[in-house]
Amino acid sequence: MNILPDWLSHYRRSALAGDLTAGIIVTVMLIPQSLAYALLAGLPPEMGLYASILPIVAYALFGSSMTLAVGPVAVASLMTASALQPLAAAGSAHYISLAITLSLLSGGMLLLFGLLRLGFLAHFLSHPVISGFISGSAVLIAVGQLKHLLGVSASGHSALDTLLSLARHLPDVNTVTLAIGASSLLFLWAARKYLARLLLALGLSAKLADVLGKLAPMLAVVVSTAVVAWWRLDSTAGVSVVGAVPQGLPALALPSLQGVGVLLLPALLISLVGFVESVSVAQSLALKRQQRINPNRELLGLGAANIASAFSGGFPVTGGFARSVVNFAAGANTPLAGVVSAVLMGAVIAAMTGLFHYLPHAVLAATIIIAVTSLIDLETLREAWHYDKADAVSLLATAAGVIAFGVEAGIVLGVALSLGTLVWRSSHPHIAVVGRVPGTEHFRNVERHAVDTEPGLIALRVDEGLYFANASLLQDRIEALVAAQPETRQVLLVCSAVNLVDTTALGVLTELERSLHARGIAFALSEVKGPVMDRLQATPLGQRLQGRIFLSTHEAFSQAQQRTDG
Amino acid sequence: MNILPDWLSHYRRSALAGDLTAGIIVTVMLIPQSLAYALLAGLPPEMGLYASILPIVAYALFGSSMTLAVGPVAVASLMTASALQPLAAAGSAHYISLAITLSLLSGGMLLLFGLLRLGFLAHFLSHPVISGFISGSAVLIAVGQLKHLLGVSASGHSALDTLLSLARHLPDVNTVTLAIGASSLLFLWAARKYLARLLLALGLSAKLADVLGKLAPMLAVVVSTAVVAWWRLDSTAGVSVVGAVPQGLPALALPSLQGVGVLLLPALLISLVGFVESVSVAQSLALKRQQRINPNRELLGLGAANIASAFSGGFPVTGGFARSVVNFAAGANTPLAGVVSAVLMGAVIAAMTGLFHYLPHAVLAATIIIAVTSLIDLETLREAWHYDKADAVSLLATAAGVIAFGVEAGIVLGVALSLGTLVWRSSHPHIAVVGRVPGTEHFRNVERHAVDTEPGLIALRVDEGLYFANASLLQDRIEALVAAQPETRQVLLVCSAVNLVDTTALGVLTELERSLHARGIAFALSEVKGPVMDRLQATPLGQRLQGRIFLSTHEAFSQAQQRTDG
């Protein structure tokens, strides 16, 4: 058995140049992001760096995507903060220990889901719910960062709360901090909007221009750090800076299992959301190169990454959208690009953490705000609004839930709404009276198509499995149709769309058949699917219906016609 | 406008004899039951009598069933006790006031549901869940009554708890109480099993024998009361008796609204369960006489009954199974039978409550136990087990949940399980590759039928609406089929059973079409339903699929054949 991953044992030398370039570029992007997301998670900056070394290597060994860039990301960091803030003071030793435990739990769950091949669980998060969740989280994150931009302290349980608290603290604004924050924000915004275009105009290739455009945050970090350090703005003007970051590689340590109970639900939600986010990025990148992603392998890869994060003093990580796209565009061919990043990050933390001392928090906040605004996804909302209002409502409710009540309540609300919509729809099925499309053996809705019907025969198609929540509705509809057409001698239920008849519906159909029979009306079925038929045959209703279950609606109509003619 | 109910304004004199007889017989049955169910609910006996007067009249004015007998019933009484016991000491003034509030809330909800025409809500309780719930409640009730039979005090949060507590109190058993209780139990059991048969043998009509057989509890009450009173067993042997019951009609009073908040959920559950139980009895009796029940009118009737109960010092009521069957069998033609009962109950409470002084609790307990054992429904379990294991599991889980965790947790568990099963099933749809049934325009599963396929064409039918939880599964299945048949030029999705394509599934199909197209494989649809087609047409996928959406699978096959031949 080959214990090396496939990409490594078959590594082609031709892939090396791309992997090296991508690894270097991603590192330059990763340094400010890892510091910023640690800040967002309420953790000391070095934990962001720790979470960007071993987890990448672990994913490279176990994951299935060639180009996914794993590490701290905005939404998982927000979810970490939201899970831990009720339990301990942000930044305290207990808080740090809980973050590490959360990463361990989340990794363990992902690994377990991968081993049990439960990758499909992610499908229970619908696309609109995920989109609403991420957009809502982005708003929550951006609002939460404003205090760093203004240099004030403010807090709140919801976005509105935080804004009100900010408004109250407006008189305390640190103008120097605000100047640094606002100019960074403006620079990053302009860089995102114009830098790539400018570089293109200067004669760079489109790809290179695009990749270099993503390095603007590093430039902002370097310049602002230099400015603060030169004028010692931290002591002279009270600008909040990162301060001393411990130097040296993270020590490997057994994570504590304290607080496991209360962290189970947050860990589950972080795992699921992180997995879904990560797989969708990995899948869309893989499709561009005709590669395949294995969801169960992804679970193992992300699980290993989070466990590695926990053992090396990090916090929950997953595949990030922006970094993966840059990794892909910069020419990454294999996970070696990630390993290159990890080695470079290791070098940074081993020798260069002193460089971050004067890095102002306001710049990190600006980086976060610019990064998350690109996560706000109005396109899916627009599409859903035009295509399916119920999905649009789920999306908006999830986003509103996140903004008003926090990430956990928001996602639970979203899932409940999307499942509720599903059940609601199936409890109100579309029921159509059908007739024959002239000259064919095909049957369609009498209200939508010019079709022929048979006197004395009501043929109706119910477009849903029959179960407890809709069986009585079908019964009422049939009774109403029969009452309106007293000449009815046969009721034919076209079962082409009936995928299920549960015990309750079986009872209702049995009663319906008896009641129609008592009035001299025959009840018949057509196009009953194999799995439904298998179960129906053994029941009393199945016995009574013998000879009245037709393979096709055509057969049923032909027989009814013969009876009328004869 | 006629303010009288229909049955009253068109009352036929010929209905009177049946209504009078039924009214008298139901009263004889109602007296011990109303006392017993008040005991079960943890309330003083007179409240059972109060709940059997005005509620019946209110239902007669607003309900739609001709034969439903409304009043205190076992399951609603158990639910009342279970809702109130955590809030106040059973029998205390606060407890009584909460019971009245609960009845008011439950009535208000039923009325509101009726006005909003929400009768269909009851359909979300599947038949197996209701059956499991009632069986579980019956066990819980029977176990809870054992202490009265033994003359000991015992209590517990679950059936097992109660049994353990009983075991600990076994040394304190009151032998006289046990003798009275056990002999009543034996008598009632024998009466149910043999009395009707005996009366039949004595020459009575089957119907009369059956009805008289139901009066055994009254006989047990009369005899045991006489025995206890004669020997003053209450003071000489410590037999627990009903004691002084206040005489006089209930005073009308405004119910208190204290504790409304905590009672909302229990009131909702009592309303729903009571409504479902009541409607199913009313419906099965109505069917026997070709009458119809209007679920929304039933909501109004039961709502009015509960509000009347609250205003006259009673507790939650609903339509009872056993009493309604007796009412029907004894010849009730209209709700006038109920009004007769109400007048007789009024007479009893106005003048005869002294007769209940020496009625032993043990006899009431025996009455309850015999009544509820007939509610245990193994038949539905057997049927579900043979027809649909998932439904059988829901039934058993609901029953076990009620017995282990109480009524509220049990029914919530049951509903969650039945909805979960539904979602789970639809997330794993049946997907069949189909071919043409030779000589027809009909297409069936290639694995179940001898059918013809077309080279280069994969036609598959998915037996479920496409939505977030199953769309990727379909995609994986198609990819696997295409990978196994490299000569594929067209993939046809037969949508006869696709009742829904949500936003997530639309995205998956769009991506699938693009990806197949890139490999030179055409993606096509057939038998798309009207409602699905309407929405699909306006999307980019709809545009791309133009000319590849076939009305019938036959058309799609014919075109593929022409292409191959040409």
How many CB pairs (< 8 A) connect A and B? 175
Backbone angles phi, psi at A126, to 5 degrees: -75, 160
At A179, the amino acid letter reads: A
Q: Do B529 and A287 touch (CB under 8 A)?
A: no
Distance CA A290, CA A304 (A): 26
Tell me the longest C-alpha to C-alpha distance in chain B.
105
pLDDT of residue B73: 94
Least Cα distance to B268 among B404, B105, B414 occurs for: B105
- Kindly give the pairing relationship between strand A318-319 and strand A431-436: unpaired
Residues 6+ apart with CB under 8 A from A193: none
End-to-end CA distance of chain B, in Å?
75
Of A127, A441, A463, Cβ closest to residue B468: A127
Residues in chain B, pLDDT under 50: 1
Of A128, A429, A440, Cβ closest to residue B499: A429
CB-side exposure of A526: number of CA atoms within 13 Å? Answer: 24
Residue of B118, B121, B123 to mutate, testing the A interface (most A Cβ within 10 Å of its Cβ) = B123
Q: Do B472 and A120 touch (CB under 8 A)?
A: yes
Name all domains of chain B by residue range, CATH numbers in brackets.
Answer: 15-420 (no CATH), 431-565 (3.30.750.24)
Task: Give per-residue pLDDT as tens, A454-489.
Answer: 889 999 999 889 999 899 889 989 999 999 999 999
Q: Do B511 and A287 touch (CB under 8 A)?
A: yes
pLDDT of residue A58: 96
Of B418, B467, B529, Cβ closest to residue A463: B529
Residues of B in Cβ contact (< 8 Å) with A468: 123-127, 129, 418
pLDDT of residue A1: 46
Residues of B in Cβ contact (< 8 Å) with A423: 124, 419, 422-423
Of B120, B422, B511, Cβ closest to residue A467: B422
Q: Quick one: tokens of B462?
A: 């998915």
Distance CA A354, CA A241 (A): 12
Q: Do A430 and B499 touch (CB under 8 A)?
A: yes
Residue of B500, B501, B551, B552 to mutate, testing the A interface (most A Cβ within 10 Å of its Cβ) = B500
Least Cα distance to B380 among B367, B365, B395 occurs for: B395
Q: Do B503 and A384 touch (CB under 8 A)?
A: yes
Residue of B382, B441, B499 to mutate, testing the A interface (most A Cβ within 10 Å of its Cβ) = B499
Identify the DSSP state of B243: -
Comparing alpha-carbon positions, the chain A residue that sits nearest to B424 is A124
Q: Do A503 and B387 touch (CB under 8 A)?
A: yes
Residues of B in Cβ contact (< 8 Å) with A446: none
Of A127, A129, A531, Cβ closest to residue B430: A531
Residue of A125, A285, A499, A514 to mutate, testing the B interface (most B Cβ within 10 Å of its Cβ) = A499
Residue A444 reports pLDDT greater than 50? yes
Task: Give per-residue pLDDT as tens, A277-308.
Answer: 898 888 888 877 877 788 889 999 999 999 99
Alpha helices by DSSP H, listed for B252-293, are 260-288
Are B239 and B176 in contact by the 8 Å Cβ rule? The answer is: yes
Q: How far is A62 from chain B (nearest CA, A)?
A: 22
Comparing alpha-carbon positions, the chain B residue that sits nearest to A535 is B387
Region A152-159: what's the mean pLDDT? 80
Residues of B in Cβ contact (< 8 Å) with A473: 120, 123
Q: Do A497 and B535 touch (CB under 8 A)?
A: no
How would you write B430-443 as a 3-class SS string? CEEEEEECCCCCCE
CB-side exposure of A321: number of CA atoms within 13 Å? Answer: 14
Looking up tokens 């058949």, which residue turns up? A513
Q: Quick one: tokens of A119?
A: 């990758």
Comparing alpha-carbon positions, the chain A residue that sits nearest to B126 is A468
Beta strands in A116-232 (DSSP E): none
Comparing alpha-carbon positions, the chain A residue that sits nearest to B473 is A120
Looking up tokens 């079960």, which residue turns up? B40
pLDDT of residue A2: 61
Region A368-376: what's the mean pLDDT? 89
Q: Do B440 and A552 touch (CB under 8 A)?
A: yes
Comparing alpha-carbon positions, the chain B residue that sits nearest to A503 is B384
Least Cα distance to A238 among A230, A246, A228, A225 occurs for: A228
Task: Give per-residue pLDDT as tens, A485-505.
Answer: 999 999 999 998 898 999 999
Residues 6+ apart with CB under 8 A from B360: B177, B180, B181, B224, B225, B228, B233, B239, B240, B241, B242
Residues of B in Cβ contact (< 8 Å) with A440: 441, 552, 554
Are A452 and A435 in contact by the 8 Å Cβ rule? The answer is: yes
Q: Do A538 and B120 touch (CB under 8 A)?
A: no
Q: Do B427 and A538 touch (CB under 8 A)?
A: no
Least Cα distance to A314 among A47, A535, A501 occurs for: A47
CB-side exposure of A198: number of CA atoms within 13 Å? Answer: 9
Q: Which residues are paired to A319 by β-bridges? A: A70
Residues of B in Cβ contact (< 8 Å) with A472: 120, 123
User: Residue A86, Cβ neighbours under 10 Å: how many?
Assistant: 9
Are B446 and B437 in contact by the 8 Å Cβ rule? The answer is: no
Distance CA A307, CA A252 (A): 11
Comparing alpha-carbon positions, the chain B residue that sits nearest to A442 is B552
Comparing alpha-carbon positions, the chain A residue that sits nearest to B535 is A387
Q: Do A123 and B383 touch (CB under 8 A)?
A: no
Least Cα distance to B393 among B122, B67, B132 occurs for: B132
Length in residues, chain A: 566
Distance CA B292, CA B284 (A): 10
Q: How far is A502 from chain B (nearest CA, A)?
A: 7
Comparing alpha-carbon positions, the chain B residue that sits nearest to A441 is B441
* 3-class DSSP assignment, residue A163: helix
Q: Do B388 and A426 touch (CB under 8 A)?
A: no
Of B440, B444, B503, Cβ closest to residue A387: B503
Identify the DSSP state of A552: S
Least Cα distance to A508 among B126, B219, B463, B404 occurs for: B126
User: Residue B460, Cβ neighbours under 10 Å: how many?
Assistant: 18
Region A49-75: what's the mean pLDDT? 95
Least Cα distance to A150 among A171, A123, A128 occurs for: A171
Please report which confidence band the pLDDT of residue A427 belongs to, taking 50, 70 and 90 as the band edges: confident
Distance CA A86, CA A548 (A): 64
**Cα-based distances in Å from A398 to A86, A298, B34, B531:** 22, 26, 49, 26
Residues of B in Cβ contact (< 8 Å) with A504: 126-128, 391
Distance CA B520, CA B536 (A): 23
pLDDT of residue B409: 86
- Give percent above pLDDT 90 in chain A: 57
Comparing alpha-carbon positions, the chain B residue that sits nearest to A530 is B448
Buried b (16+ CB within 10 A) or exposed e, B490-513: bbbbbbbbbbbbbbbbbbbbbbbb
The model's pTM is 0.79
User: Residue B89, Cβ neighbours under 10 Å: how many?
Assistant: 11
pLDDT of residue B496: 87
Residues of A in Cβ contact (< 8 Å) with B128: 503-504
Backbone angles phi, psi at B70, to 5 degrees: -95, 150
Q: How far is B146 from chain A (nearest CA, A)?
A: 34
* 3-class DSSP assignment, residue A452: strand
ipTM at complex level: 0.81
Q: Do B425 and A500 touch (CB under 8 A)?
A: yes
Comparing alpha-carbon positions, the chain B residue that sits nearest to A534 is B387
Distance CA B131, CA A453 (A): 41
Backbone angles phi, psi at B36, to 5 degrees: -65, -45
- Mean pLDDT score of chain A, rounded to an integer? 90
Comparing alpha-carbon positions, the chain B residue that sits nearest to A127 is B504
Residue of A389, A398, A444, A468 to mutate, testing the B interface (most B Cβ within 10 Å of its Cβ) = A468
Residues of A in Cβ contact (< 8 Å) with B434: none
Residue of A120, A130, A503 to mutate, testing the B interface (most B Cβ within 10 Å of its Cβ) = A503
Q: How far is B471 from chain A (nearest CA, A)?
A: 8
Residues of A in Cβ contact (< 8 Å) with B383: 503
pLDDT of residue B497: 85
Long-range residue pairs from B150-153, CB within 8 A, at least 24 positions apart, any chain: B150/B174, B150/B177, B150/B178, B150/B181, B151/B176, B151/B177, B151/B178, B151/B181, B151/B238, B151/B239, B151/B240, B151/B362
Residues of A in Cβ contact (< 8 Å) with B426: 422, 426, 465, 499
Identify the DSSP state of B255: P
Distance CA B551, CA A438 (A): 13
Q: Do B470 and A429 touch (CB under 8 A)?
A: no
